[in-house]
Amino acid sequence: MATLIDGRQIASDIREEVKQAVLAHTSSGKRAPYLAVVLVGDDPASSSYVRGKAKASAEVGIESDTMTFPDTISEAELLEIVARLNDDDNVDGILVQLPLPAHIDDTRVINAISPDKDVDCFHPASVGRLSIGLDGFAPATPAGIVQLLERSDIETSGAHCVIIGRSNIVGKPLANLMLRKGIDATVTVCHSRTRDLAGIARQADILVAAIGRAHFVTAEMVKPGATVIDVGINRVDDSTRDRGYRLVGDVDFDAVEPIAGHITPVPGGVGPMTIAVLLQNTLKAATM
Ligand code: GUN
């Protein structure tokens, strides 16, 4: 029986810490941290994420404004909006919700955000700082995972961390974070072409599943006592639910939970941490 890593509780602890820090900041006479959120189009998932970010910001005393634009906006117009936010001294953090409509180049827009306001940590300068261990913003999901480990007293120094998935927003930045001095893990990154993925996964003291395939990690891939972190959020059909589906992770939880030492549930594991890190980053943007 594994110990559950309670992402909801840990994220709630972080939000409370940010709230206290924001209070200390404003008590000293400074204005509240300010996050500008840019949403293009009316994709329900993006709208829901953005609402969650605005609500969480308000709860900790961070001011935010969600600027919503129709999906007919041109790339040039969007770049102009980003430029204005860059120049606005009352804006600390800028977040452009992805994905953007097909006629807009995500990379061009991300690259236009001032690295000083890049609370998503998507700008190449932010990624570069992370990779050489300079101080800067933390990428939401990877930094959320590191804080889950730290706050659950899981030893990372010298531990073998196997990451399944090499995406730019999870696998690669997580590998960089886990390698950092002070965290000191030995890192292996696996992907769809990896040979004997199960054999490598079985060597992991910390196994991170971030591939976006429901129930990909099975019991045979987990060393007894390992810490298993599940980044996946996958829809599977479920006729017993009103909405016709349920959300499951990349880990076959029922099979792996009896073997693992610690495990994150889905939902309620990594997911809640991402907004908590965004709040930490926005506070950082306002105070650095
Ligand atoms: N779309 C899904 N997740 C994210 C995120 O963390 N940041 C941004 N900007 N867009 C997203």
Nearest CA, atom 1, ligand 1: 98
Question: CA–CA separation, 63 vs 60, rounded Å?
Answer: 9
Atom of ligand 1 nearest to the CA of 140: 6
The answer to whether residue 280 is catalytic is no
For residue 103, which of 133, 58, 70, 151 has the smallest C-alpha distance? Answer: 70
The CB of 140 under 6 Å from ligand 1? The reply is yes
The CB of 95 under 6 Å from ligand 1? The reply is yes
pLDDT digits (tens, 9 = 90+) for 21-33: 999 999 999 999 9
Atom of ligand 1 nearest to the CA of 169: 6
The answer to whether residue 120 is catalytic is yes
The CB of 96 under 6 Å from ligand 1? The reply is yes
Q: Given 6, 97, 205, 284, which residue is catalytic?
A: 97
Question: CA–CA separation, 59 vs 64, rounded Å?
Answer: 11
At 91 the pLDDT is 98
At 69 the pLDDT is 98
pLDDT digits (tens, 9 = 90+) for 107-137: 999 999 999 999 999 999 999 999 999 999 9
The CB of 141 under 6 Å from ligand 1? The reply is no
The CB of 50 under 6 Å from ligand 1? The reply is no
Q: What's the length of the chain?
A: 288
What does the block give as tokens for 286?
């306002």
Residue ranges and CATH numbers for the domains of the chain are 31-114 (3.40.50.10860), 140-271 (3.40.50.720)
Instruction: Report how far ligand 1's centroid is from the alpha carbon of 220 (Å).
Output: 33
The answer to whether residue 53 is catalytic is yes
Q: Which of 64, 98, 275 maximizes ligand 1 atoms within 8 Å of its Cβ, making it the mutation to test the pocket?
A: 98
Question: CA–CA separation, 288 vs 282, rounded Å?
Answer: 10
The CB of 118 under 6 Å from ligand 1? The reply is no
Place of tokens 């961070």: 62
Q: Given 6, 92, 118, 120, which residue is catalytic?
A: 120
Instruction: Report how far ligand 1's centroid is from the alpha carbon of 144 (Å).
Output: 14
Question: CA–CA separation, 123 vs 173, rounded Å?
Answer: 12
Contact indicator for 8, 272 with CB cutoff of 8 Å: yes
Q: Given 53, 172, 223, 284, which residue is catalytic?
A: 53
What does the block give as tokens for 278?
């965004």
Instruction: Report how far ligand 1's centroid is from the alpha carbon of 169 (Å).
Output: 9
pLDDT digits (tens, 9 = 90+) for 258-271: 999 999 999 999 99
pLDDT digits (tens, 9 = 90+) for 33-81: 999 999 999 999 999 999 999 999 999 999 999 999 999 999 999 999 9
At 232 the pLDDT is 97
For residue 173, which of 204, 208, 143, 207 has the smallest C-alpha distance? Answer: 143
At 186 the pLDDT is 98
Nearest CA, atom 8, ligand 1: 97
At 115 the pLDDT is 98
> What's this model's pTM, rounded to 2 decimal places?
0.97
